[in-house]
Structure 1
Amino acid sequence: MDVQTLTFLIVGLSFALYIGIAIWARAGSTKEFYVAGGGVPPLANGMATAADWMSAASFISMAGIISFAGYDGSVYLMGWTGGYVLLAMCLAPYLRKFGKFTVPDFIGDRYYSRTARLVAIVCAIFICFTYIAGQMRGVGVVFSRFLEVEIETGVYIGMVIVFFYAVLGGMKGITYTQVAQYCVLVFAYLVPAIFISMMMTGHFFPQTGFGATLIGSDGVYVLDKLDGLSAELGFAQYTEGSKSMIDVFAITGALMVGTAGLPHVIVRFFTVPRVKDTRISAAWTLVFIAIVYTTAPAVAAFARVNMVDTINGKDGSGTAYAEAPAWIKNWERTGLITFDDKNGDGEMFYTAGKITDPNSANEVNVDRDIMVLANPEIANLPAWVIALVAAGGIAAALSTTAGLLLVISTSVSHDLLKRTLKPDITDKQELLAARLAAMVAIVISAYFGINPPGFVASVVAFAFGLAAASFFPAIIMGIFSKTMNREGAVAGMVTGIGFTAAYIIFFKFVSPDLNSPENWFLGISPEGIGLIGMIINFAVAAIVLKFTQPTPVEIQEMVEGIRNPKGSAEAHDH
Structure 2
Amino acid sequence: MDLTVLTYIVVGATFALYIGIAIWARAGSTGEYYVAGKGVNPIANGMATAADWMSAASFISMAGLIAFMGYDASVYLLGWTGGYVLLALLLAPYLRKFGKFTVPEFIGDRFYSKTARIIAVVCLIVASLTYVIGQMKGIGVAFSRFLETEYTTGLLIGMAIVFFYSVLGGMKGITYTQIAQYVVLIFAYTVPAIFISLQITGNPLPQLGLGATIETGASSGQYLLNTLDQILVDLGFTEYTKMEEGNTFNMMMLAMSLMIGTAGLPHVIVRFFTVPRVVDARRSAFWALLFIAILYTTAPAVGAMSYFNLIQTVKGGAATEVESTLAYEERPDWFRNWEQTGLLAWEDKNGDGQIQYYNDANEEFAQTAEEEFGWAGSELEVDRDIMVMANPEIAQLPNWVIALAVAGGLAAALSTAAGLLMAISSAVSHDLIKGVFNPNIGERAELLAARLSMAGAVIVAGYLGLNPPGFAAQVVALAFGLAASSLFPVLMLGIFNKRMNTAGAIAGMLVGLTSTLLYIFTYKGWFFVPGTNMLPNEPEYYFLTIQPESFGALGALLNVIVAYLVSRATAPPPEHIQHLVENVRVPRGAGEATGH
**1:453 and 2:469 matched:** yes
**1:296 and 2:318 matched:** no
Q: Closer, same or farther in 2 for the Cα pair 1:378/1:87, shift >3 Å?
A: same
Asked if the contact 1:190–1:292 (Cα under 8 Å) also holds between the matched residues in 2, the reply is yes
Asked if the contact 2:345–2:381 (Cα under 8 Å) also holds between the matched residues in 1, the reply is yes
The residue that corresponds to 2:33 in the other structure is: 33
Q: Which of residues 482, 487, 507 in structure 1 aligns to 2:523?
A: 507
Once the two structures are TM-superposed, the CA of residue 567 in structure 1 deviates from its matched residue by: 4.5
Q: CA RMSD in A?
A: 1.2
Q: Which of residues 309, 320, 342 in structure 1 aligns to 2:327?
A: 320
The residue that corresponds to 1:412 in the other structure is: 428
Q: Which of residues 528, 535, 548 in structure 2 aligns to 1:526?
A: 548
Asked if the contact 1:197–1:302 (Cα under 8 Å) also holds between the matched residues in 2, the reply is yes
The residue that corresponds to 2:223 in the other structure is: 221
**1:58 and 2:80 matched:** no
Q: How does 1:116-127 map to 2 (within 5 A)?
A: 116-127=116-127
The residue that corresponds to 1:494 in the other structure is: 510
Once the two structures are TM-superposed, the CA of residue 141 in structure 1 deviates from its matched residue by: 0.8
**1:249 and 2:252 matched:** yes
Q: Amino acid of the residue matched to residue 141 of structure 1? A: V
Q: How does 1:93-132 map to 2 (within 5 A)?
A: 93-132=93-132
Asked if the contact 2:193–2:298 (Cα under 8 Å) also holds between the matched residues in 1, the reply is yes
Once the two structures are TM-superposed, the CA of residue 150 in structure 1 deviates from its matched residue by: 2.9
Q: Which of residues 237, 241, 247 in structure 2 aligns to 1:235?
A: 237
In 2, the alpha carbon distance for the partners of 1:24 and 1:547 equals 54
Q: Which of residues 539, 562, 567 in structure 1 aligns to 2:584?
A: 562
Asked if the contact 1:133–1:453 (Cα under 8 Å) also holds between the matched residues in 2, the reply is no
In 1, the alpha carbon distance for the partners of 2:2 and 2:261 equals 42
CA deviations over 1:481-505 (Å, ceiling 9, x no partner): 0101110111010010100011011
**1:3 and 2:10 matched:** no
Q: Secondary structure at the match of 2:317?
A: coil
Greater shift in the superposed pair: 314-323 or 173-182: 314-323
In 1, the alpha carbon distance for the partners of 2:534 and 2:195 equals 41
Runs of 4+ in 1 over 6 A off after TM superposition: none
In 1, the alpha carbon distance for the partners of 2:201 and 2:589 equals 53
Q: Secondary structure at the match of 2:345?
A: strand
CA deviations over 1:180-202 (Å, ceiling 9, x no partner): 00000001001100000001111
Q: Which of residues 464, 468, 472 in structure 1 aligns to 2:488?
A: 472
Q: Closer, same or farther in 2 for the Cα pair 1:160/1:514, shift >3 Å?
A: closer
Asked if the contact 1:207–1:295 (Cα under 8 Å) also holds between the matched residues in 2, the reply is yes
CA deviations over 1:137-182 (Å, ceiling 9, x no partner): 1111111122112323322322222222211110000000000000
In 2, the alpha carbon distance for the partners of 1:260 and 1:22 equals 28
In 1, the alpha carbon distance for the partners of 2:3 and 2:348 equals 29
Once the two structures are TM-superposed, the CA of residue 512 in structure 1 deviates from its matched residue by: 7.2
Q: Amino acid of the residue matched to residue 67 of structure 2? A: S
* TM-score, scaled relative to structure 2: 0.94
Q: Amino acid of the residue matched to residue 81 of structure 1? A: T
* TM-score, scaled relative to structure 1: 0.97
In 2, the alpha carbon distance for the partners of 1:455 and 1:398 equals 17
Q: How does 1:391-430 map to 2 (within 5 A)?
A: 391-430=407-446
Q: Which of residues 402, 412, 434 in structure 1 aligns to 2:450?
A: 434
Q: Which of residues 337, 340, 345 in structure 2 aligns to 1:338?
A: 345
Once the two structures are TM-superposed, the CA of residue 288 in structure 1 deviates from its matched residue by: 0.5
Asked if the contact 2:150–2:340 (Cα under 8 Å) also holds between the matched residues in 1, the reply is no
Asked if the contact 1:108–1:116 (Cα under 8 Å) also holds between the matched residues in 2, the reply is yes
Asked if the contact 2:143–2:158 (Cα under 8 Å) also holds between the matched residues in 1, the reply is no
Greater shift in the superposed pair: 260-269 or 140-149: 140-149
**Structure 1 vs Structure 2: percent identity of aligned residues?**
60
**1:383 and 2:399 matched:** yes
Greater shift in the superposed pair: 293-302 or 318-327: 318-327
Asked if the contact 2:150–2:342 (Cα under 8 Å) also holds between the matched residues in 1, the reply is no
The residue that corresponds to 1:158 in the other structure is: 158
Q: Which of residues 530, 536, 539 in structure 1 aligns to 2:561?
A: 539
Once the two structures are TM-superposed, the CA of residue 363 in structure 1 deviates from its matched residue by: 1.4
In 1, the alpha carbon distance for the partners of 2:589 and 2:277 equals 10
Once the two structures are TM-superposed, the CA of residue 279 in structure 1 deviates from its matched residue by: 1.1
- How many pairs align? 568
Once the two structures are TM-superposed, the CA of residue 550 in structure 1 deviates from its matched residue by: 0.9
In 1, the alpha carbon distance for the partners of 2:25 and 2:98 equals 26
Greater shift in the superposed pair: 199-208 or 559-568: 559-568
Q: Secondary structure at the match of 2:116?
A: helix
The residue that corresponds to 1:572 in the other structure is: none
Once the two structures are TM-superposed, the CA of residue 4 in structure 1 deviates from its matched residue by: 1.4
Q: How does 1:142-153 map to 2 (within 5 A)?
A: 142-153=142-153
CA deviations over 1:380-423 (Å, ceiling 9, x no partner): 00111111111100100000010011111110111001111111
In 1, the alpha carbon distance for the partners of 2:535 and 2:437 equals 44
**1:15 and 2:15 matched:** yes
Asked if the contact 1:19–1:161 (Cα under 8 Å) also holds between the matched residues in 2, the reply is no
Asked if the contact 1:46–1:284 (Cα under 8 Å) also holds between the matched residues in 2, the reply is yes
Asked if the contact 1:22–1:164 (Cα under 8 Å) also holds between the matched residues in 2, the reply is no
The residue that corresponds to 2:43 in the other structure is: 43
